[in-house]
Chains A and B, each alone.
Chain A
Amino acid sequence: MERSWWWKAIGHLLLIVVAVVYLIPTLVGEERLPGWYSKHVKAKLQLGLDLQGGIHLVYEVEVDKAVSDKTDRLAADIEERLTRDKKLKGVNVSREGRDEIAVRCASARDLATIDRTFLSEFRSNLDEVGRDLATHTVRLRLNSAYVSEVGEYAIRQAVETIRGRIDEFGVAEPTILRKGSDIVVELPGLTRRSFDRVKRQIGRTAQLEFKMVDDENDFMAAAAAKLPEKSPITVRSETYDGKQHGAITYTYLESRDKRALRQFLDQLKLPKDREILLGEEYAKDKKGNRLPDKIWITYFIKRRTELTGEYISDAQVMWEDRTGRPEVSLTFDRTGAEVFERLSGDNIGRRMAIVLDSNINSAPVLESRIGGGRARITLGGLRSPQELQEEANDLAAVLRTGALPAPLRKSFESQVGPTLGRDTINRGMVAFAVGAGTIILFMLYYYHLAGVFADLALLVNMLFVLALMAAFHATLTLPGIAGLVLTLGMSIDANVLVNERIREEMRLGKSARAAVDAGYAHAFWAIFDSQLTTGIAGIVLLQYGSGPIRGFAVTMLIGIATSIFTGVYVTRMLFDLYVAKARPKVISVGLPRTV
Chain B
Amino acid sequence: MPQWIKPGTTYEFYGPRRRAYAISWGLTLASFVALGVNVLWRGSALNYGTDFTGGSQLQVQFSRAVRPAEVRGALEKGGFGGSEVVAMTVGAPPNTFMLRMGEVSACSAAEREKATAELKRAFGAPIRKLDYKEGSDKIYVLLPARSDVTKKVAEEDAARQIEAAFTAAGVEVQQVRLFGRARDGSFEVSLGGLGGGVERALTAALGAGSVRDIPQVETVGSRMGRQLRDSGIKSLIYSMLLILLYITLRFDLRYAPGVLIALVHDVVITVGLFAVLWHEFSLSVVAALMTIAGYSVNDTIVVFDRIREDVARFRDRKFDRVVNGAINETLSRTLLTSLTLVTCLALWGLGTGPIREFGFALSIGILLGTYSSIFVASPMVVYFNERVAAIGRKGAVAR
Contacts and interface: CB of A to CB of B under 8 A. Distances in A.
A260 B357 CA distance: 48
Nearest to A196: B193
B271 to A, nearest CB: 16
B72 interface: no
B17 interface: no
Interface in A35-66: 58, 60
Contacts of B344: 485-486, 489
Given A415-B216, A486-B362, A537-B239, A405 B291 contact: no
A537 B246 CA distance: 12
Interface in B325-355: 329-330, 332-333, 336-337, 339-344, 346-347, 349-352, 354-355
A410 B343 contact: no
Contacts of B297: 530, 533-534
B1 A203 contact: no
A545 B235 CA distance: 11
B301 A530 contact: yes
Interface stretch (A134-142, A361-369, A419-427): A419-427
A308 B294 contact: no
Contact of B294 (A423, A525, A533): A533
Nearest to A496: B336
A544 B342 contact: no
Interface string B243-255: 1001100100000
Residue in A305, A414, A545 with the greatest tally of chain B CB atoms within 10 Å: A414
Contact of A538 (B59, B294, B330, B350): B294
B175 A544 contact: no
A334 B55 CA distance: 45
Interface string A388-407: 00000000000000001101
Nearest to A70: B180
A310 B181 contact: yes
B287 interface: yes
B interface SS class: helix
Interface in B188-216: 188, 190, 193, 195-196, 213-216
A73 B218 contact: no
Contact of B138 (A72, A407, A504, A543): A407
Interface string B234-246: 0100110011001
B350 A500 contact: no
Interface in A537-568: 537-541, 543-546, 548-549, 552-553, 556
Contacts of B180: 69, 73, 310, 404-405
B355 A428 contact: yes
Contacts of B152: 304-305
B350 A431 contact: yes
Contacts of B217: 195, 413-415
B7 A507 contact: yes
Interface residues of A, number: 96
A446 B336 contact: yes
Prevailing SS type, chain A contact patch:
helix
A592 B219 CA distance: 59
A591 B91 contact: no
Contacts of B235: 540-541, 543-544
A439 interface: yes
Contacts of A539: 242
B291 A556 contact: yes
Interface in B100-136: 133, 136
A196 B343 contact: no
Nearest to B92: A423
B2 A407 contact: no
Interface stretch (B33-41, B77-85, B221-229, B376-384): B221-229
Contacts of B213: 192, 417, 419
A533 B336 contact: no
Given A60-B221, A430-B350, A479-B284, A497 B302 contact: yes
Contacts of A428: 351, 355
A485 B347 contact: yes
A123 interface: no
A505 to B, nearest CB: 12
Interface string A420-447: 1001100110111011101100100110
A21 interface: no
A490 B341 CA distance: 10
A199 B7 CA distance: 65
A532 B352 CA distance: 30
B284 A549 contact: yes
A540 B238 contact: yes
A482 interface: yes
B358 interface: yes
A536 B355 contact: no
A417 B218 CA distance: 12
B279 interface: no
A205 B177 contact: yes
The interface centre, meaning the residue of B59, B140, B180, B354 with most chain A CB atoms within 10 A of its CB, is B180
B183 interface: yes
Given A479-B355, A544-B232, A548-B284, A427 B350 contact: yes
A167 B235 CA distance: 36
A590 interface: yes
B1 A416 contact: no
Nearest to B259: A533
B362 A60 contact: no
B98 to A, nearest CB: 12
Given A405-B180, A530-B301, 13 more contacts: A60-B221, A195-B195, A308-B182, A310-B180, A417-B216, A423-B91, A431-B351, A481-B355, A529-B298, A540-B239, A544-B231, A546-B231, A546-B283
17 contacts: A69-B186, A73-B180, A192-B213, A308-B182, A311-B181, A407-B140, A410-B221, A413-B218, A427-B350, A438-B343, A481-B355, A486-B344, A489-B337, A500-B333, A530-B301, A533-B247, A536-B246
Which A-B residue pairs are the 3 nearest by beta carbons?
A489-B340, A534-B294, A435-B343
